[in-house]
Amino acid sequence: MIVSTNPDVVACDLEDGLAILNPHKGTYYSLNDVGRFVWLLMTTPVTPESLCGAIVENYDCDAHIATADIATRIAELQAADLIRISGHGSV
């Protein structure tokens, strides 16, 4: 599985995270600092495993927790049409 940001959405840095607008749905989302970090990694196609590794390395997080959290966030972002997923597989 490869994930990447939806090129149709607009993202803007905030002091403590990121604001994302889906202009087609007219919805606004905000991400905290860790969410911003993950979003920026997804601006180029990346695997969920790579995202988990980056979280563990940069935020001193347990790998099992990172894997579960990334799977949840990917599902949420996909449901909101903020990311694109290609290929098969799971986190």
- Could you tell me what percent of the chain has a pLDDT over 70? 96
pLDDT at residue 40 tops 60: yes
pLDDT at residue 12 tops 60: yes
* Mean predicted lDDT score pLDDT of the chain: 94
Compute CA 27 distance to the chain's CA centroid, rounded to the nearest angstrom. Answer: 16
More confident residue, 13 or 91: 13
- For 58-76, the pLDDT digits (tens) are 998 999 999 999 999 999 9
Query: What pLDDT was estimated at residue 60?
Result: 87
CA distances from 14 to 11, 29, 30, 36, 85 (A): 10, 12, 9, 9, 26
Under 8 Å between Cβ of 2 and 85: yes
